[in-house]
Copies of this chain bind each other. A is one copy, B any other.
Amino acid sequence: MICVLSGGVGAARLLRALSLVVEPTQLRAVVNVGDDLELHGLMICPDLDTINYTLAGLNNDVTGWGLAGETWRVMSELAALGGASWFSLGDRDLATHLYRTQRLREGATKTDVTRELSERFGVAVTLLPVTNDPVATVFDTAIGTLSFQEYFVRHHHDVVVRSVRVEGAREARLTPEAHEALSASASVVIAPSNPLISIDPILQIGDARALLRARRDDVVAVSPIIAGAALKGPADRLLGELGFAVSCLGVADFYGDLVGTWIIDERDEEHAETLRARGHRVVVTTTIMSHEADARRLAQAVLA
């Protein structure tokens, strides 16, 4: 079994790539829930949904988020009513949130609902929310404190961030399933998701960090920074704002002694020696999965 620490889009792509070379049933994703939000009374889990949708082949490749074949009737009517429509919820996507919210109200856990949704979507990878307890990633910014989605969607991550914290992390517990995946999988892969706001909110839960540190040699991380830039999202900007080098070295600094092996892009080969000098094994390969061949090569590098 392989355990993948996962945010949204980047992790979904890595999981899809890994599914090309191993049985999907051998993959377990431990997924960030720090950007989950309640809106209009609905519980929305963007990272879990992105992964489910992507692995089901239902993701919208044009927008880079949401579902293919989506319609927007509810949102347009809500906007006409003067309702909060800054967080776009498609009609098809809304069905997921109605389903989840109803099941949570009936007493199901987020873990239960995620498993049910994966089954309905025909996804064979096991998706595990890192915790069923409430946590919320919060940004202290130049314009005040923002929730994750206020920062990310409402302000298009275009504000200066002073610090990031995960409210509730101290009290939250790993689910038994996430604990088992982190401790008993043959290897643990840190997906090329945003280290600061997708992966760290996983590492802050319970003894996640300690579990990885204790088995550092089995931990492989794929750098989300390539030639000084993030493929998607604000990881590069945030690293700089929070005092880290905007490179795979900065990410390595951030994760510290959790990672045994770094997988970095060919364009970052110059940093390989530095990482090796710090005690990491290093694999240099193409990490951008623009074609299936690239995805397969990256997956094989991760598994090797």
Q: Give A contacts to B, CB under 8 Å.
A: 38-43, 71, 73-75, 77-78, 80-84, 91-92, 94-99, 101-102, 104-105, 116-117, 120
CA–CA, A104 and B120, complex, Å:
32
For the residues of A in contact with B, the DSSP-based class is helix
Contacts of A75 in B (CB 8 A): 95
Which residues of the other chain, B, contact A96 by a CB distance below 8 angstroms? 77, 81
Which of B41, B77, B92, B98 sits near A105, CB closer than 8 Å? B41
Q: Are B95 and A78 in contact (CB under 8 A)?
A: yes
CA distance A117 to B98 in the complex (A): 22
Contact of A74 with B101 in the complex, beta carbons under 8 Å = no
A102 touches B40 (CB 8 A): yes
Choose one: B91, B97, B102; the contact of A91 (CB below 8 Å): B91
Residue contact B78 to A99, C-beta cutoff 8 Å: yes
A95 and B82 contact, CB distance less than 8 A? no
Query: Can you list 14 contacts pairing A with B, beta carbon distance less than 8 Å?
Result: A39-B102, A40-B42, A40-B102, A41-B98, A42-B42, A73-B73, A73-B91, A73-B92, A74-B74, A74-B92, A75-B95, A78-B95, A78-B99, A84-B102
Output the least CB separation between A176 and chain B (Å): 25
| Distance (whole angstroms) from the CB of A262 to the closest CB of chain B | 39
Q: Which residue of B lies closest to A93 (CB)?
A: B77
Picked from B42, B98, B104, the residue with its CB within 8 Å of the CB of A78 is B98
Are B41 and A102 in contact, with the CB atoms below 8 A? yes
Distance A104 CA – B73 CA, assembled complex (angstroms): 22
The CA-CA distance from A80 to B94 in the complex, in Å, is 13
B residues within 8 A CB of A83? 95, 98-99, 102
Most B C-beta atoms less than 10 A away, residue of A39, A73, A96, A120: A73
Do B95 and A77 have beta carbons less than 8 Å apart?
yes
Q: Roughly how many angstroms separate A80 CA and B116 CA in the complex, as a whole number?
A: 12
Query: Considering the chains assembled together, what is the distance between the CA atoms of A163 and B128 in angstroms?
Result: 46
Q: A104 to chain B: which residues have CB within 8 Å?
A: 41
Measured CB to CB, the closest approach of chain B to A101, in angstroms, equals 4
Given the interface pairs A81-B117, A117-B81, the reply to whether A40 lies near B98 with Cβ below 8 Å is yes
CA distance A40 to B41 in the complex (A): 8
> Nearest-CB distance from A123 to chain B (Å)?
13
When chains A and B are docked, how far (Å) is the Cα of A74 from the Cα of B99?
10
Inter-chain contact B102/A74, CB cutoff 8 Å: no
